[in-house]
Chains A and B, each alone.
Chain A
Amino acid sequence: MPEEVPLTGAVFAAAGENGLRVFSVDGVRWTHQQLDREGMLLNHACIDGGRCLVVGKFGGDSVAWSTTDGISWTQNKLNTQAYAGKFGPVFSADGQFQVIANDDGAIPGVRTSPDGTVWAPRKPLMAERKGLKHDAGLRRFARGNNRLVIIGDYGARLVRQPDRALFEAVLGVPAKETLVDIAFGNGVFVGGGMHGLRMRSEDGFTWTDIVNGEEGEHINAMIWDGRQFVGIGQGATYRSVDGKAWTREPNENAPTNAVFGAGIFVGILWPGKQLISKDGIHWSQVHEFPQHVLALAYGSLHKS
């Protein structure tokens, strides 16, 4: 049942199976839980401009939920026809929520909304589908150096340069250099991938300092914690200030997705386990939901 007190200020948000939406101020105690119909999968989340936006699927519909206080939610459909368009990930840029539409063979699109409730028609993200395989999906996003970088399947990397409306694909990236997550900090973009793969770039186009880790140590989350990059892998955490010099520490109970906020890492691990860590290395379980958590976000809800 939703709790009576509206949420304000910095919070972690989690979303997942059966329409799960839930919040935490400290990453430990989770409140304001909401559920919806069985089978609704909410797998993208973003908090910005005082709102939390959650995007997912229910049957043939792509659904978006938004709230400013964790209590009152508004639901919208993102697709205009059933089974038309695969939406996600969701991020914030240019003062708007942006949801990417991944459709096999089509130029990837984006729908934007100032508040998560009113959505502009889909617009193309690129001028042409060049440098993307026909079924490559776009997965993660980072913003920095006045530009946006999106990564995706088969090594896909898109960059939107300052004062440009459209993204350009980085051409010739081999599939084996596919990134799972990227982050921006200290003036550079840093990406992580399978078997401890790491690399850095200042402009999103040229990637250098490519290094591999140990077999199986897949980095699922690359996070800038304000001081350093923290690549959370399956079995080891890699840390670096600049994306060049790295340290490796075996980790415990590593999550498959994580965010950072309020001085703490919050992670998720199937089935429904909520974890926290102070250093990205030692993780402890603080809660377990009956539903699996698919998405995490950190940001501030409306203060007024």
Chain B
Amino acid sequence: MKTPFPSTSEVPVSRRSFLRGAGVLAALPFLETVAPSVVRAGSRVPLKPPVRFGIYTVTGGTVSESWVPQELGNLGKLPSILRTLEPHKEDLVILSNLSQSGQGDGRINAHEHCAYVHLSCADTVGKLNGKPMASQSVDERAAEIVGAQSLIPAVRMGYSGGETSFFFDRQGRSLGVERNPRMAFERMFKGRQLVAPNWSRRLAGGSPEAQPLGSKAYDAQVVDLLLDDARRLQKQLGRSDQGKLNEYLESVFSIEQRVRRLHERIAIEAVDLKDPGPSNPHAPSNLPTDNAAQDQMVRAVSRNPAIHGDYLRVMTDLMVLAFQTDTTRVCSLGLGTDEALFPGVVTVGYEHHAHTLEHHGNAARVEDADPVAREGCRQIHAWYSQFFTDAVAKMRAIDEGGSSLLDNTVLLYTSYMADGGHGTKNYPALLAGGAGGKLKGGRHIAYQKETPFANLYVEVLDLLGDRSGEFGNSKTSKKAAYEGRLPGLV
């Protein structure tokens, strides 16, 4: 985690205070790696397999004529980019004509613009003090709704190419993403055993009673001391440093919450271990063995499609595992990279650089685009779809006790651009899964042109229990349609 080390202060800070503050910073890694021993009372236990929300977003837009089916209604033969999903089409809803209308503030480039509006659907995005600013992204909103019921409210992974921010908190600040697979695994599973929740037992009320907190355990006391110290330090800092420290305190607080949740979860899983759910979770087979191996993998992603494929596979497996073990109910993968080379994936022409292909393969009129580059883009996106297909197949195969993990998930497959020319109209959008029986698959629905993408997020959030009926610019977009909803989807 990046530490917000104060650079200047308006009020001099004593050496003693400084060292105390530094102690807070130094303590952070320790807290992340030590298994907690506290339990908080009043936790909620899920009554049935919960609905999970996954985001599987790739770079580079898509090639719409090879993504969007020609026919409306029941899905026939899938277009070539989605061809690998053919065996699963009864689990898919393809949505077309969803678009973004949010504007940039003039301080961001086209990729940043597309990235910031992607999951936020903000009316205006830009930079503030050089930092990305948007409005809350849909994953974070979803985490507010269902996150309290799982160990980690929201998991965000990917960004192997150092992608521009997709994810934003309620204040519109950019959120971090875990790009290293081994680190992601350890953050989710260190101190735990992999076990499938026994949802039927939990449904029958067979989970352990939450234990009231008596005297605080040592780790929790340490967290409190650190927070007290940091708050004292905060009073002595200038305004800009206070902002930085506030962000940091929020991080520490979230760790404190996680410490408490983790211990609670370990208690529940100890019971599950004696009588687990029907599936058998296991660590991804190609999880890098150590930090050096994972660093090597991430570094090579942009140069070597074979390693890129390994990366997509392990990140996909981590998402499935996170859902399977109810580690989180909101998981986002930001996959692919515009800077990647795709020799062997692109088997036409002489150019293998995704970004070059994206630009050459797109034009105001499709017939003016370079057809060789456009075919290269199509091949890249067909390749991405193989990994998404793997995710769907694995989730379909995981039995949660009468229903599959896919039945209990709504998984969005999309891209942060509509096309490789920084397009914002007619994004690739596909929902996989049954959302707990609320979503019927096997369909292609075309909405009116430039229907706000935010309407889709309203529907997804509604599936998760949000009754606000509004997200991003679903009602404020100049292209607002269908009263901010997507009729016929659910």
A residues with CB within 8 A of B = 17, 39, 43, 135-137, 139-140, 153-154, 174-176, 178, 180, 193-194, 218, 220, 234, 256-257, 269-271, 292, 294
Contact residues in B for A220 (Cβ distance below 8 Å): 347-349
Contact residues in A for B306 (Cβ distance below 8 Å): 271
Task: Type the 1/0 row for B365-395, where 1 means its CB is closer than 8 Å to any CB of A.
Answer: 0011111110100000000000000000000
Query: By the criterion CB–CB under 8 Å, are A175 and B368 in contact?
Result: yes
Query: By the criterion CB–CB under 8 Å, are A17 and B350 in contact?
Result: no
Instruction: Tell me whether B205 is interfacial, beta carbon within 8 Å.
Output: no
Contact residues in B for A174 (Cβ distance below 8 Å): 367
Contact residues in A for B111 (Cβ distance below 8 Å): none
Q: Find the residue from A43, A140, A154, A220 having the highest chain B CB count within 10 A.
A: A154
Instruction: Tell me whether B343 is interfacial, beta carbon within 8 Å.
Output: yes
Instruction: Tell me whether B305 is interfacial, beta carbon within 8 Å.
Output: yes
A154 to B350 alpha-carbon distance, docked (Å): 13
Identify the closest chain A residue to B360 (Cβ): A153
A234 to B372 alpha-carbon distance, docked (Å): 14
A140 to B368 alpha-carbon distance, docked (Å): 21
Contact residues in A for B343 (Cβ distance below 8 Å): 256, 270-271, 292, 294
Instruction: Tell me whether B127 is interfacial, beta carbon within 8 Å.
Output: no
Query: By the criterion CB–CB under 8 Å, are A270 and B344 in contact?
Result: yes
Query: By the criterion CB–CB under 8 Å, are A234 and B348 in contact?
Result: yes
- The answer to whether A194 and B367 touch (CB under 8 A), given A153-B360, A220-B348, is no
Contact residues in A for B350 (Cβ distance below 8 Å): 43, 139-140, 180, 257
Sample of 11 more A-B contacts, CB < 8 Å, known A139-B349, A153-B370, A175-B370? A139-B350, A153-B372, A180-B348, A180-B372, A193-B371, A194-B348, A218-B349, A218-B375, A220-B347, A234-B347, A256-B344
A234 to B303 alpha-carbon distance, docked (Å): 23
Contact residues in A for B305 (Cβ distance below 8 Å): 270
A271 to B308 alpha-carbon distance, docked (Å): 13
Q: Find the residue from B304, B350, B351 having the highest chain A CB count within 10 A.
A: B350
A17 to B368 alpha-carbon distance, docked (Å): 32
Query: By the criterion CB–CB under 8 Å, are A135 and B360 in contact?
Result: yes
Identify the closest chain A residue to B342 (Cβ): A270
Within 8 A of A (CB), among B329-374: 343-344, 347-351, 359-360, 367-373
| A126 → B minimal CB distance (Å) | 19
A17 to B369 alpha-carbon distance, docked (Å): 29
A279 to B298 alpha-carbon distance, docked (Å): 41
| B355 → A minimal CB distance (Å) | 11
Identify the closest chain B residue to A255 (Cβ): B347
Contact residues in A for B375 (Cβ distance below 8 Å): 194, 218
Please tell me which one of the listed residues A176, A194, A234, A271 contacts residue B344 in the complex, with CB atoms under 8 A apart. A271
- The answer to whether A218 and B344 touch (CB under 8 A), given A175-B369, A194-B375, is no
Please tell me which one of the listed residues A17, A175, A180, A270 contacts residue B349 in the complex, with CB atoms under 8 A apart. A180
Please tell me which one of the listed residues B303, B347, B348, B370 contacts residue A154 in the complex, with CB atoms under 8 A apart. B370
Query: By the criterion CB–CB under 8 Å, are B348 and A175 in contact?
Result: no
| B420 → A minimal CB distance (Å) | 12
A135 to B353 alpha-carbon distance, docked (Å): 14
CB-defined A-B contacts under 8 Å, sample of 6: A137-B351, A153-B373, A175-B368, A175-B370, A270-B343, A294-B343
A178 to B367 alpha-carbon distance, docked (Å): 12
Contact residues in B for A178 (Cβ distance below 8 Å): 370-372
Contact residues in A for B348 (Cβ distance below 8 Å): 180, 194, 218, 220, 234
